[in-house]
Amino acid sequence: MVHDSYDPDRFVTEGDFAVESESPSPRMHVVMIPEAEAHQSQTVEMSSMPTVDRIAFLTAVRDAVDEVLAWQKKTLIERLEGATENGSFPTPMGPISYTASTRKMKVDEEKFLGYMREHHPDMVEEKITYAIDPEARATVLAAFVDIGDGVFASSVDGTVADFLFLGEPTNPSIAYPATKQQKVTKRQARETLKQFLPELAAPVVGAAKGITS
């Protein structure tokens, strides 16, 4: 079901369940942190920044956006507490969907086997299984080393293992690890986002108005 009215501070889900916010969303308040006060009037051209600087900057901004987005989603879910049906909320930028909480059936395999043996014994197949002790597995595998070309041999007796091989290569990755500079950057990104979010919202929302799907 799609609701035909849009109000960012009023949310209605399918069926008769409805929750309204008690007050309009507060205006964002900006507090500049001390470490960045000296730079608040400066501007930086992205094209002039080294690639690694852009990665750090964009990561900080992305995390700030993710933090705000997570809070907004949490707020909406809390307002819809008790809703049992899925819903759709129209916005000028396209609908936002809500998927209600569900509880899927789980199986206690041991008890289910007991039930099957009692009620459907003809459907139960008996098999002998072998298992390796986890600690023993880890100890034995740790003794094998790569001797080249993906061939592994025991460092104890030199036995070549036909059961070991190299898996698919992992994708290279770039990270922005936690440091004092990173924490300051991320804090400032959050405050800057609060300051400029209203300015960013106007053209973004306006661009989608008048478009019909």
| pLDDT for position 213 | 60
Q: What is the mean pLDDT of the chain?
A: 79
**Is pLDDT of 27 > 60?**
no
Residue among 119, 101, 85 nearest 14 (CA): 85
> Tell me, what amino acid is at 21?
S
- At residue 151, the 3 state secondary structure works out as strand
Nearest-CA neighbor of 155 among 166, 141, 144? 144
Q: What is the DSSP letter of 32?
A: -
Q: What is the pLDDT of residue 73?
A: 93
Residue 108 has pLDDT above 50, yes or no: yes
In the chain, % of residues over pLDDT 70: 77
Q: What is the pLDDT of residue 200?
A: 74
Q: How many CA atoms lie within 13 A of 103 on its CB side?
A: 2
pLDDT at 84: 87
User: Does residue 51 surpass a pLDDT of 60?
Assistant: yes
> Residue 23 — very low, low, confident or very high, per pLDDT cuts 50/70/90?
very low
Q: What is the mean pLDDT of residues 134-138?
A: 95
How would you class 11 by CB atoms within 10 Å of its CB: exposed for 0-12, middle for 13-18, buried for 19 or more?
buried
State the Cα angle at 130 between 128 and 136, rounded to 5°. 165
* pLDDT digits 0-9 by tens, 65-105: 999 999 999 999 999 888 889 988 888 778 889 999 888 88
How much is the pLDDT for 111?
96
Q: Is the dihedral of CA 202, 207, 212, 213 positive or negative?
A: negative
> Domain map of the chain by residue range?
1-104, 109-134+142-161
Give the list of residues 6+ apart from residue 188 with CB closer than 8 angstroms, or none: 32, 33, 35, 36, 60
57 vs 25, higher pLDDT = 57
The secondary structure of the chain in percent helix, strand, coil, rounded to multiples of 5, reads 40, 10, 45
In DSSP terms, 88 is beta-bridged to 2, 97
From 145, 175, 136, 139, select the one nearest 52 (Cα to Cα).
Answer: 175
Q: How confident is the model at residue 63 (pLDDT cuts 50, 70, 90)?
A: very high
Pairwise pLDDT comparison (206 vs 30), residue with the higher score: 206
> Per-residue pLDDT tens for 192-210?
888 887 787 777 767 777 6
Q: How far is it, in rounded angstroms, from Cα 143 to Cα 154? A: 6
Structure tokens at 196: 């400029």
